[in-house]
Amino acid sequence: MVGTGVYTSLGFQLVDLQSGFSILLLWGLGGLIALCGALSYAELAVEIPRSGGEYTYLSELYHPALGFMAAFVSIIAGFTAPIALSSMAFGSYLHAALPLCPAKAASFFAVVIISLGHLQTLKFSGLVQNVMTSLKFLLIGLFLAVGLWNAARHPSGIGMFAPSANSLTELFRPASGVALIFVLYAYSGWNASSYLAGEVRDRRRTVGRSLVLGTLIVTLLYVVLNAIFLTAAPANELRGVLNVGSVAATHLLGTMGGRVMSGMIGLGLLASISAMIWAGPRVTQRVGEDYAAFAWLGKRSDQGIPTQATLLQLVLVLLLLTTGSFESVMLYAQVPLLLCLVLGVAGIFVLRNRSDQNCVIEGFRCPLFPVTPLLFIFCTLAALLYASITHPWESIAGLGTMILPLLVYPWVASRGKR
């Protein structure tokens, strides 16, 4: 979860929002929305302990056509686009650390090397991911320590987070919906362990626990990190900037210290790229396992690695890196991705209806049902509505990504299921 969003979103949010209170409130709201989704998915994971995420849930709870659509969305908007966005951010931060290093070349290099690394054994793949994630949180801890030390030296800066009449008014403007879309993008990945549910031990407990604990930890990190960014540098220097961490680090540690911290953030972003490169092909592989038309995507290596799916993802990411801009790709990807998550969370109502028909659910139950899933659904749809008002073309393109696989599905189904 921790990756591109928290190191890039603030600059875009400051284009439309002025109040530090409004911005932190949106980050807290984003964490609450993600937690509601995680609690709902935790119950789904108990009853449907298979890999595939939304592809599996929508296929089994609604109809295979919706599952196929979710798989297509996951491949394009859930993994390919975020990997490309994370790579863009990595290149930007690495360029800030080493000005002689071209940002775009660094983005391409990172994706290729990490993809090849995950084509080795599953054990090696897991080791790489654990090491890189540990490094990422070590770097975040360092940034937090420096930021909190600076806040203690200049406590007057905390006053910017006090609520005001203007800050509350901001929250009801369409621009706040776009800002919330950026926040929800930063929380993308709260559902990632559901894509790997079939590959972990004690999946009925492990998947749900990782969903909830991961979301709680990340929410705390995000609120504190954004508070540090806002107090470290003037808003006019952060506004519209992609690598806000570099700007904040330069103010905290000076020019050379800012370069060092930018390089460390760039290394931390590699962990997010690695996580998505690892999880994404598992969805593509499930499609290949289920549909004869895509049987070649279901093949695994002798080590259990979905080789064909991983290579396809690599090609799509490299293509997107050559054609897309950061903001347009992010807004386009969020529309179908969030709508699929809404369908996934709404699946808990289908599951509960089945339990009422003598299909007993054992294990974890989503607390405060039905408030928890309804809060996720309402807030997500509201943010999407606001975003569609201000960015209609990206929204239309996102909806097209959902409609296309539904149109193709009859042909795919006619080829038979494996």
- Select from 180, 159, 143, 192 the least CA-distant residue to 38: 192
133, with CB counted inside 10 A (0-12, 13-18, 19+), is: middle
Per-residue pLDDT, 197: 67
- Select from 223, 242, 148 the least CA-distant residue to 183: 223
What does the pLDDT profile of the chain (418 residues) look like in tens digits?
A: 787 788 888 988 888 888 888 899 999 999 999 999 988 988 888 788 777 778 888 989 999 999 999 989 988 888 899 899 989 989 988 898 888 889 889 999 999 988 888 887 777 767 777 887 787 788 788 888 888 888 888 777 777 788 877 777 887 777 778 888 889 989 988 887 776 666 677 766 777 788 889 899 999 999 999 999 998 888 899 988 888 888 988 988 888 888 888 887 887 788 788 888 887 887 788 788 888 888 888 888 777 788 888 899 999 999 888 887 787 888 889 999 999 999 999 999 998 887 766 555 566 788 899 999 999 999 999 989 888 888 898 899 999 999 999 999 999 888 877 6
User: What CATH number does the domain containing 379 carry?
Assistant: 1.20.1740.10
Cα separation, 228 vs 233, in Å, equals 9
- Evaluated on CA atoms 179, 180, 185, 186, the torsion sign reads positive
**Structural domain of 214:** 4-414
128, 274 contact by CB (below 8 A): yes
What dihedral angle (degrees, nearest 10) is formed by the CA atoms of 13, 403, 76, 243? -10
What's the whole-model pTM score?
0.84
C-alpha separations of 226 from 7, 27, 216, 223 in Å: 9, 8, 16, 5
Q: What is the SS3 assignment for 324?
A: coil
38, 190 contact by CB (below 8 A): yes
- No. of helices (H) and no. of strands (E), the chain: 16, 0
Give me the number of domains the chain comprises: 1
The dihedral region occupied by 381, where left means phi > 0, alpha psi between -120 and 50, and beta the remainder, is alpha
